[in-house]
Amino acid sequence: MAQTSAPTPTTAVDAAEPEAPPPPPTDAELVVARYPGATVPTWRFADGIPTVRVAPDQICDAISWLRHRPDGGRRYDMLVDVSGSHWPERAEPLEVTYILHALEDSHRIRLKVAVGGEHPAIPSVTGVWALANWPEREIFDMYGVEFSGHPDLRRIITPNDWEGHPLRKDFPLGEEPVEFQRP
C-alpha cells in the first residue's frame, strides 16, 4: 500500500514532535477486520507466526483472500500445512490449523478453525487450494471432522472399515495382550 503523496506538516511551528505514521496493519489485523467473528487467540504461540481464528464458514473465503489479495497486499503463495488437534475440554473441541507462506518475503500466517457438536463439519478448502485434499482426508480419518464439499472424502491412512478416529483423545492408545509372563 504505497502512498503516492506523503504530506508532512511543513508549517512546523507548533508541531512539537513529528508524529510517526502508524505502522500499516499486519495481515492478521486485516483478516480480523475483514471477517466478523475472527479473533486473535489469547494463547501462546512460541514460534511467532501471527495467528487468527476464523469462523468455520469463513475459512474458504479467508484463505482465498490471502492467496489472491485483491487489495494488492502480500500474497500467500503456499499452503504449507493443514493439521488437526483435539481439545476435549474446550467448547469446540476439534481444531483445524492452516499455515500459509508468502514467497515474496517468507512471511507466514496461521489460521485456525474450531468446531464441535455431534457431527463436526468444516467447509473444505480444496476448491481454493487443491493440496488440501489429502490433509483434509487425514483429518477426517484421524479426528472425524467432515469437510463439506470435499471431492473424495475417504479414510486415507487407516483401512476403510476402521472404527473410530485414532487421534482423538478418547481413542485408547491400544495395547496387545502379550503371551509371555514374567518369570
Partner 1 sequence: MVMLEETRTETGRMILNMGPQHPSTHGVLRLMLELDGENVLECVPDIGYLHTGIEKMTEARNYHQALVLTDRMDYLAPITNNLSYIMACEKLFNVEGKVPERALDTRVVMSELTRIASHLIWLGTHGLDLGAMTMFMYCFRERERVLEIMEAISGVRMMTSFMRIGGLAADLPDEFYGLVSQFVDDMPKKIDEYETMLSRNPIFVDRTKGVGVINRESALEHGFTGPCLRASGVQFDVRTNLAYCGYETYEFDVPWSREGDVYARYMVRMREMRESVRIIDQGLKRLRASRGAPIRLDDPRITFPKREKIHSSMESLIHHFKLVSEGPVPTPGEAYAAVESPRGEQATYIMSDGSNKPHRVRFRAPSFYNLQVLPQTIAGGLVADVVACIGSIDIVLGEIDR
Binding interface with partner 1 (CB under 8 A) = 43-47, 49, 77-81, 83-87, 97, 99, 101, 103, 106, 108, 110, 129-131, 133-135, 138, 142, 155-160, 166-167, 171, 173-174
Pick the closer one to partner 1 by CB: 8 or 39.
Answer: 39
Q: How far apart are CA 75 and CA 101, in angstroms?
A: 9
Pick the closer one to partner 1 by CB: 72 or 172.
Answer: 172
Angle of helix 27-34 relative to helix 59-68, nearest 10 degrees, comes to 140
Pick the closer one to partner 1 by CB: 160 or 181.
Answer: 160
Pick the closer one to partner 1 by CB: 34 or 108.
Answer: 108
Pick the closer one to partner 1 by CB: 42 or 181.
Answer: 42
Q: How far apart are CA 124 and CA 56, in angstroms?
A: 10
Minimum separation from the CB atom of position 125 to partner 1 (A): 12
Which residues have CB under 8 Å from 66's CB, separation 6+?
Answer: 27, 31, 75, 76, 100, 109, 111
Minimum separation from the CB atom of position 7 to partner 1 (A): 37
**Torsion on CA atoms 85, 86, 92, 96, rounded to nearest 10:** 10
Cell of 153: 472424502
How many Å separate Cα 30 from the centre of its chain?
15
How many Å separate Cα 87 from the centre of its chain?
16
Q: What secondary structure letter does DSSP report for 21?
A: P
Minimum separation from the CB atom of position 160 to partner 1 (A): 5
